[in-house]
Amino acid sequence: MAYDYDLFVIGAGSGGLAASKIAASYGAKVAIAESDLVGGTCVIRGCVPKKLMVYASHFPSLFESATGYGWQVGKAQLDWEKFITSIDKEVRRLSQLHISLLDKAGVELIPSHATLVDEHTVKVGDRKVTADKILIAVGGEAVKPDLPGMEHAITSREIFHIQSQPKHIAIIGAGYIGTEFACIMRGLGCEVTQIIRKEQILRGFDADIRTQIQEGMVNHGIRIIQNTVVTSVEKVENGLTINLSGEDSEPITADAFLVATGRTPNVEGLGLENAGVDLVTTSLEAPGYKSTNAIAVNEYSQTSQPNIFAVGDVTDRINLTPVAIGEGRSFANSEFGGNRRVFSHENVATAVFSQPEAATVGLTEESAKKQLGEDGVIIYRTRFRPMFYTLPNQEEKTMMKLIVDANTNKVLGAHMVGDYAAEIIQGVAIAVKMGATKKDFDATVGIHPSSAEEFVSMR
């Protein structure tokens, strides 16, 4: 049977863009459908605008540090409107860049919502097209709990478009999104209250990372309310009242309220049932949330329909931009390049752009001990004040940690909290991915003076 396209991609985010361009490079006829700005969550409302906000939030502490080095710094003031406008301008520039790259690669962009009609047919706009293979790469979406007054809350989608700077922002969520935005908004000069259901933030990260970041956040003036949940939100004359239940049940009044308690795969409205694509159920552990579904795939990102594939957050595996890109590339190389391969989800490095920053790769201490036993793991840890903070006399701490297999000497995990953690761990991740041992780390000459040298000098 002759099809209109060799590959039809639904969703022009990181995974879809990567897959479509590589497939086209092998000579495939490819189209990609997107009803929003091209670029996906990362470019439009995720990594890129967030990191720009992170950079902006660091300037007040840098101004403070400068005085310790003899600089006279005047009163600084943030022009919020210019700040938000500049971020939006950069986001749109990058979106246009991705469009031009698709055109250069020979990929047809269809600016419309796409729905599956059957396993080889897609309805896009007011027409139907057919494809030999279909890739679903529509990502995920921030969700709000089903609680009274949640229409007054914003999510990570809307926070980049707040027209005026809030004096006080309340945030629910202990994950990396809630934690990052708590630090961003505090750095930009807002009063910040973060409400978490348990004792600590960042469930799933190494315990030392969780403790170090949380302590740093409190030291920077963020109020963290532990063991507490939000029960409702009310619009009042001077802002929003957030009603609580738990360890601290005193209501909070804030100018803005950010919900950062979960993201769900974008499976609604895709017509998956028309094509017989199976879903797998996931759940969000929080009041007001219900079970959600992700697209079920095998190791080759193949769904229950052999010619339909899915990559990225819509599959709810590891929800990170580089992972979506890697899955998309593996799919395209396997199906169109004659190079069948599985994308490895092991030892994926990640970062939390909080203040202090953190990054990690490999096993946590808890998971390593669970696998190998208490005696099967050796922990190396250091904690110190970096040289940069000595003259300003600021109490900023860096923590570094290696998890080592006691029997093989192999480094199973590396963790860091402190300045440039993401930049440093990215290099360390190569060693961990290659199976380096602690002896390999010890044999590496450090760069002095630097924080990174601690990774090769811990004894």
Residues noted as catalytic: 448
Q: Within 13 A of 7's CA, how many CA atoms are on the CB side? A: 34
Tell me which H or E stretch contains 411: strand 411-417
Cα distances (Å, whole numbers) of residue 270 to 30, 112, 133, 266? 19, 12, 16, 8
Give the span between the Cα atoms of 392 and 397, in whole angstroms. 13
Give the span between the Cα atoms of 12 and 75, in whole angstroms. 43
- Assess contact for 417 and 212: CB atoms under 8 A: yes
How many other CB atoms are there within 10 angstroms of residue 144's CB atom? 17
How many other CB atoms are there within 10 angstroms of residue 241's CB atom? 18
Give the span between the Cα atoms of 225 and 222, in whole angstroms. 10
374 Cβ contact list (under 8 Å, min separation 6) = none
Give the span between the Cα atoms of 303 and 123, in whole angstroms. 19
Closest CA to 22 of 341, 328, 302: 328
Question: Could you write out the DSSP letters of every residue in 219-284?
Answer: HTT-EEE-SEEEEEEEEETTEEEEEEEES----EEESEEEE-S-EEE--TTS-HHHHT--EEEE--
How many other CB atoms are there within 10 angstroms of residue 130's CB atom? 16
